[in-house]
């Protein structure tokens, strides 16, 4: 297993809400290999960003338990100095909220230059400028010269997102965590950014954690997929396991609710009733998804679902899949 880049074991990240700690990431175990894209999907509030932040230890006031090992190094106990060295250099992150990831008072070009200079103080001024221009062009910004001297608020959301991507890949990281990198972009630019991420993977053997709720992006990019619900991974496997042979009811519901899942305009889209529970309301015993599956009789549910390997590498947190069916789908054994 020489190729393992990142290993998480029983990772648990809890936030303080009122007087108690509640886990937003709960018992997450996974690995990311070199040259591998792992997609993380799930509805809003499932804990995807909390997971990403935990890996880079970016939370300031959270309790993080379990194991995070990056290239064999323990991240949980790493010193702040060491973390600063790793972040932005060996681990790059594209933040979900691009505006807050940029300093409003610093020119775009200078911000990217700073990200490079921070990890390479020997670089010459002209080489630095050239590298920034190259990065801006790579992320599809045509007027690189003029964007260089602009401030974040002068750019559209899509342009800002591309600047954040340029910063994340500036130092050719070994692991790239991309949190909804293309959600704010239109499809043609999205295609361009996805190409860029693929290139990073192919040219530098980088591993990528791609957080998205766009299942089309998942199908196009991922080698493996982890589906999160209420802080836990409920299904994980290869992209073919998860998209072609999904077993967990939540995964199947997500796939069913897409407009492209139905054949005719007159059909209704599948709706998952209810909402993702907020942290204090997540059921901590029994199945966390139960409240949203009222069409299965109580007696049928598994009491304490754990991740079980149903075929090599394909794990599902619910054994009820054997008798699970969608109401409109009929029986599906």
Binding region for ligand SF4 (CB under 6 A): 249, 287, 289-290, 293, 296, 301-302, 305, 318, 320, 324
Binding-site string for ligand ATP from residue 96 to residue 115, where x marks contact by CB under 6 A and - marks none: x-------------------
Choice between 169 and 218, CB closer to another protein = 218
Residue 269 binding partner per list another protein, Mg ion, ligand ATP, none, with a CB distance cut-off of 5 to 8 Å that depends on partner kind: another protein
Asked if 21 touches ligand ATP (CB under 6 A), the answer is no
Touching another protein, residues 36-95 (CB under 8 A):
43-44
Site membership for ligand ATP, residue 47 (CB under 6 A): yes
Among 5, 28, 30, 50, binds ligand ATP (CB under 6 A): 50
Sign of the four-CA dihedral 259, 261, 264, 267: negative
Strands 314-316, 308-311: pairing kind: antiparallel
Question: What does the block give as tokens for 244?
Answer: 């072609």
The owner of tokens 């907020």 is 278
Among 18, 5, 98, 13, CA closest to 53: 13
Select from 201, 247, 252, 270 the one that contacts another protein (CB under 8 A).
Answer: 270
| One-character DSSP codes across 189-229 | HHHHHHHHHHHHHHHH--EEEEE-S-HHHHHHH-SEEEEEE
Q: Give the residue among 104, 126, 99, 129 at the shortest CA–CA distance from 114.
A: 129
Dig out the tokens for 190 from the structure.
Answer: 């999205």
Shorter beta-carbon distance to ligand ATP: residue 135 or 215:
215
C-alpha–C-alpha distance, residues 200 and 209, integer Å? 12
96 vs 138 by CB, closer to ligand ATP: 96
Among 12, 48, 57, 314, binds ligand ATP (CB under 6 A): 48
> Radius of gyration over alpha carbons of the chain, in Å?
21
5, 11, 24, 112: which one binds ligand ATP (CB under 6 A): 24
CA distances (Å), 271 to each of 140, 142, 323, in order? 36, 41, 20
- Shorter beta-carbon distance to ligand ATP: residue 186 or 203: 186
Pairing of strands 224-229, 37-41: parallel
The one segment of 47-55, 71-79, 82-90, 165-173 that binds ligand ATP by CB under 6 A: 47-55
Nearer to ligand ATP, 13 or 171 (CB): 13
Instruction: Output the CA angle 310-241-254, nearest 5 degrees.
Output: 105
Q: Which residues are at the interface with Mg ion (CB under 5 A)?
A: 49, 96
How is residue 99 written in tokens?
A: 């505006």
- Cβ neighbours of residue 322 closer than 8 Å, sequence gap 6 or more: 333
Size of the site for ligand ATP (CB under 6 A): 14
Instruction: Establish if 272 lies at the interface with another protein (CB under 8 A).
Output: yes
The whole-angstrom separation of Cα 31 and Cα 4 is 7
Residues near another protein (CB under 8 A) are 43-44, 156-158, 185-191, 194, 213-217, 219-220, 222, 239-240, 243-244, 253-255, 257-262, 265, 268-272, 275
């Amino acid at each position: 297993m020489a190729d393992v880049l990142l290993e998480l074991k029983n990772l648990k990240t809890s936030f303080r809400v009122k007087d108690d700690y509640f886990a937003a990431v709960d018992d997450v175990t996974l690995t990311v290999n070199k040259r591998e894209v792992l997609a993380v999907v799930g509805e809003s509030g499932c804990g995807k960003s909390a997971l990403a932040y935990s890996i880079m230890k970016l939370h300031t006031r959270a309790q993080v338990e379990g194991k995070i090992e990056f290239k064999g190094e323990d991240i949980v106990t790493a010193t702040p100095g060491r973390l600063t060295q790793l972040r932005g250099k060996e681990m790059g992150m594209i933040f979900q909220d691009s505006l807050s990831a940029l300093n409003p008072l610093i020119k775009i070009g200078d911000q990217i230059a700073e990200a490079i200079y921070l990890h390479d103080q020997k670089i010459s001024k002209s080489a630095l400028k050239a590298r920034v221009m190259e990065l801006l062009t790579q992320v599809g910004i045509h007027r690189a010269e003029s964007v260089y001297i602009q401030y974040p608020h002068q750019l559209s959301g899509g342009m800002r997102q591309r600047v954040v991507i340029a910063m994340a890949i500036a130092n050719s990281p070994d692991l790239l965590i991309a949190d909804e990198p293309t959600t704010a972009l239109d499809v043609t630019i999205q295609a361009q950014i996805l190409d860029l991420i693929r290139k990073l993977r192919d040219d530098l053997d980088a591993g990528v954690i791609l957080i998205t709720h766009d299942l089309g992006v998942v199908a196009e990019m991922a080698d493996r997929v982890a589906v999160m619900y209420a802080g836990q991974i409920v299904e994980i496997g290869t992209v073919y396991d998860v998209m072609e042979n999904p077993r967990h009811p939540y995964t199947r519901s997500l796939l069913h609710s897409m407009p492209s899942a139905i054949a005719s305009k007159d059909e209704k889209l599948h709706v998952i009733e209810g909402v993702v529970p907020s942290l204090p309301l997540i059921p901590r015993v029994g199945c966390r998804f139960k409240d949203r599956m009222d069409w299965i009789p109580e007696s049928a549910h598994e009491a304490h679902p754990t991740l079980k390997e149903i075929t090599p590498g394909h794990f599902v947190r619910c054994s009820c899949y054997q008798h699970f069916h969608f109401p409109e789908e009929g029986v599906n054994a």
